[in-house]
Amino acid sequence: MLLQSLVYIAAAACLLLVVYLVRCHSSPLRKVPGPTVSLFTSLVLKWKEINASRTVYIHELHNKYGSVVRVAPDEVSFTSWPAVKEIYCSGGSGYDKSDFYNLFRIYGRRTMFTTLNKADHAKRKRILADRYANSNVMRSVSMDGIHERSSAFVRRCTSTSTSKTSEVFMGLSTINNHALHAYACDCATHHLFHPNGSDCLGKKEDEDMMHQVAADDSLQYRLISYYSPTLHRLFARVLSLFVKPREVPLADNYVLSTSQRTDAASFTLMSRLEEKNGELDSIDMAAECLDHMVAGIDTTGDTLCFLMWELSQPRSIRYQRRLAEELRNNPRASIDQLPLLDAILCETLRCFPAIPMSLPRLVPQGGRTIDDFWLPENTIVSCQAYSVHRTNRDVFPDADRFDPDRWLAADGDADRRRLLFAFANGGRGCVGKHLALAEMKTLLRDVYSRFRTTPDPSMTEESMAMADQLISTQPLGRRCLLQFHPLVDGATEGSEKQPVGDL
């Protein structure tokens, strides 16, 4: 009897397996190039995700199979401009986001970033977008705050410490912390809450708050909750012993209390939210502010970190010299009038995009043809900046080389700029782009007009490889030590003062 039951169960299992295999094999995605295993299971992709190597894995697949690759039975990755345009720009803001973005809900609410469909997103964006317009970011009251924070960062260069090495990645909670992430947090909260922005560069409690947000190592925990909610619910306690849940109580306190205040300056996001308090309740406002604060820390901090690391390498030192020269020759120019500074930043965003991974979207009702492949509705489609920037070799020849000069050539400028996907593209691209550019250019001008940077001898190339987090990257070794050598007044090459301190 028992044997008979087992035979029935085995037969049923075999039948189900055959049905599953036949279904996979007759899927429209069978025509899309990709590894055979991806037609039948997403396990390989999930394994790579959990091990923080999804981006590199997909990039290798693009190198092998071309600009369209099936990465799972219901998921395809693209790299061409027509695909970017279709997925992210069609109808203004492209296809709806996939439920991957549910992972980022805050206080149980959807923010502009986590709204899935176009209509909800457009409604929220209409409220918020004007505070991120370039004209608002460039107002003197906004820029004064960025200058102040950049000066605070650079003042450390002239401190009297005997060490000349500085931790520019996240920094340690010591007096010698000069982290770029602290700068990014102070700038973002200035734009959100002035005069109630954070002072991570000056106050330990603010810096601790920033660390909580920036040191997000909850990748595995959150992926398990996304892929297997039941397993996650049943074993949450046990799981948390092995993989960390995301908890940011200090940031919650800061944002919840600051967003209650009513004295925010007129250029800030908070002042806009106050104007619209009939449309958003206090939790919505706090969730939106926390989201923007989080979005503005790792992204800007990591971009600056990879940029300063690259400029400090012997292979790129000539760009550092030319940048110092450009800054010396144009002391009064606005940050938008410095072509080499812009080129170096664009090339950094190309080579080290802070969000290098896929931005998943869903094929709309009725299915769509993308890059000549017809895909049924609800197929997950995406582009990842890392591959868009490296595989379009007609637009970016010698794509693995850091070469800011490519951005100075008039020829092909429009093609390069539209394929620069670091801030994404279309109506759901980064709303904080102008703010981020202003922050980064201001700090770079302040540093490289006065200092030369070199890598600390303890650093290795491997430790600066890009590692995936949930939606952003960071140096694999999670540290970046650079040495700062003050330049003699106006000097750019060879001549420099003895170091007077660390940054």
Candidate segments 7-15, 273-281, 392-400, 430-438, binder of ligand HEM by CB under 6 A = 430-438
The nearest distance, CB 84 to ligand HEM, in angstroms, is 12
Question: Binding marks (x or -) toward ligand HEM, 282..321, rule CB under 6 A?
Answer: ---------xx--xx--xx--x------------------
The nearest distance, CB 190 to ligand HEM, in angstroms, is 10
CB atoms within 10 A of CB 338: 20
Asked if residue 136 binds ligand HEM (CB under 6 A), the reply is no
Q: Residue 464 has which token pair?
A: 């600066």
Q: How many angstroms from the chain centroid is the CA of residue 486?
A: 31
Residue 208 CB partners (closer than 8 Å, separation 6+): 173, 250
Does 430 appear as a known binding residue?
yes
Q: Which of residues 389-428 bind ligand HEM (CB under 6 A)?
A: 422-424, 428
Among 285, 431, 481, 482, binds ligand HEM (CB under 6 A): 431
Asked if residue 354 binds ligand HEM (CB under 6 A), the reply is yes
Among 179, 201, 355, 419, binds ligand HEM (CB under 6 A): 355
Asked if residue 113 binds ligand HEM (CB under 6 A), the reply is yes
The nearest distance, CB 295 to ligand HEM, in angstroms, is 4
The Cα 187–Cα 149 span in angstroms is: 7
487 has which bridge partners?
A: 496
Question: Binding marks (x or -) toward ligand HEM, 186..215, rule CB under 6 A?
Answer: --x---------------------------
Q: Is 140 exposed, middle or buried (0-12, 13-18, 19+ CB in 10 A)?
A: exposed
76/487 with CB nearer ligand HEM:
76
Q: Residue 180 has which token pair?
A: 């770029």
| 177 SS3 class | strand
The nearest distance, CB 375 to ligand HEM, in angstroms, is 19
69/188 with CB nearer ligand HEM:
188
The nearest distance, CB 284 to ligand HEM, in angstroms, is 14
Residue 23 CB partners (closer than 8 Å, separation 6+): none
DSSP letter at 363 equals P
Asked if residue 352 binds ligand HEM (CB under 6 A), the reply is no
Asked if residue 359 binds ligand HEM (CB under 6 A), the reply is yes
Residue 466 CB partners (closer than 8 Å, separation 6+): 55, 306, 352, 356, 386, 473, 474, 475, 476
Q: Tokens 């925990």 appear where?
A: 221
The nearest distance, CB 88 to ligand HEM, in angstroms, is 8
Candidate segments 79-87, 152-160, 408-416, 429-437, binder of ligand HEM by CB under 6 A = 429-437
95/487 with CB nearer ligand HEM:
95
| 383 SS3 class | strand
112/280 with CB nearer ligand HEM:
112
The backbone region for 478, taken as left when phi is positive above 0, alpha when psi lies in -120 to 50, beta otherwise, is left
Among 71, 112, 289, 327, binds ligand HEM (CB under 6 A): 112
299/469 with CB nearer ligand HEM:
299
The Cα 468–Cα 487 span in angstroms is: 36
The Cα 201–Cα 328 span in angstroms is: 27
Residue 204 CB partners (closer than 8 Å, separation 6+): 173
Q: What is the phi/psi pair of residue 467, to 5°?
A: -110, 140
Residue 344 CB partners (closer than 8 Å, separation 6+): 307, 311, 319, 323, 404, 444
Residue count at the site for ligand HEM (CB under 6 A)? 24
Do residues 464 and 306 lie in contact, with contact meaning Cβ atoms separated by under 8 Å? yes
Q: Which of residues 235-264 bind ligand HEM (CB under 6 A)?
A: none
The nearest distance, CB 189 to ligand HEM, in angstroms, is 9
27/303 with CB nearer ligand HEM:
303
Q: Closest by alpha carbon to 484, among 170, 159, 181, 150?
A: 159
The nearest distance, CB 83 to ligand HEM, in angstroms, is 15
Which residue has its beta carbon closest to ligand HEM?
Answer: 432
Q: Closest by alpha carbon to 41, among 59, 17, 10, 62?
A: 17
The nearest distance, CB 429 to ligand HEM, in angstroms, is 6
Q: How many angstroms from the chain centroid is the CA of residue 290?
A: 16
The nearest distance, CB 318 to ligand HEM, in angstroms, is 24
Q: Which residues are near ligand HEM by CB under 6 A?
A: 112-113, 125, 188, 291-292, 295-296, 299-300, 303, 354-355, 359, 422-424, 428-432, 435-436
Binding-site members for heme are 430
